[in-house]
Amino acid sequence: MNWMQLMLSANETNNASNYLPIVLQIVFAGGFVAFMILVSSFLGPKRKTDDKLATFASGIPTHGDARSPMAIKFFLIAILFVLFDVEVIFFYPYAVNFKSLGWNGLMEVILFVGFFLVGFIYIIKKGALKWED
């Protein structure tokens, strides 16, 4: 059998009727979800009390305004964490291919770590990680 006959036989077996069970399953699942939402909205309780309408935050009573100012240190630490966390992710491809990369790969990784080390030293010198004001 050559490749043209294989393609023709594949096209003959691959038609829309083969997808009918998948379409029926999707329609049935969507219909079941819609039916259950409608039934629960009609049969479910509809008591609106002050306790049910109050804001719930993990059992902790709410206090103050949500728009109160927050120290920029939280955001700075979070961004620095993401920056140095992403650096660690780039070590994985090197670890997988370190034999094939050879000495050139080792020098490139040392250069990569060097750049981030310079950035880390700069962050330390600027006092970005000092929590006290």
Amino acid 23: pLDDT: 93
CATH code at 109?
1.20.58.1610
Tell me if 24 is assigned to some domain: no
Tell me if 32 is assigned to some domain: no
Four-point Cα dihedral 15, 16, 18, 22, nearest 10: 150
Judge whether 116 and 85 are in contact, CB under 8 Å.
no
**What is the DSSP-derived secondary structure letter of residue 58?**
T
Distance CA 37, CA 32 (A): 9
Q: What amino acid is encoded at 61 in this protein?
A: P
In this model, does residue 38 exceed pLDDT 70? yes
Domain count, the chain: 1
Q: What is the mean pLDDT of residues 71-99?
A: 84
Q: How far is CA 8 from the centre of its chain?
A: 42
Specify the higher pLDDT residue, 27 or 52.
27
Highest average pLDDT, of 20-34, 73-87, 101-115, comes from: 20-34
Distance CA 92, CA 85 (A): 12
In this model, does residue 90 exceed pLDDT 80? yes
Tell me if 120 is assigned to some domain: yes
Length of the chain: 133
Q: What amino acid is encoded at 103 in this protein?
A: W
Amino acid 26: pLDDT: 96
Judge whether 94 and 123 are in contact, CB under 8 Å.
no
In this model, does residue 3 exceed pLDDT 70? no
Distance CA 53, CA 41 (A): 17
Amino acid 77: pLDDT: 84
What is the residue range of 120's domain?
Answer: 71-133
Specify the higher pLDDT residue, 126 or 66.
126
Identify the band that residue 1 occupies on the pLDDT scale cut at 50, 70 and 90.
low
Tell me if 119 is assigned to some domain: yes
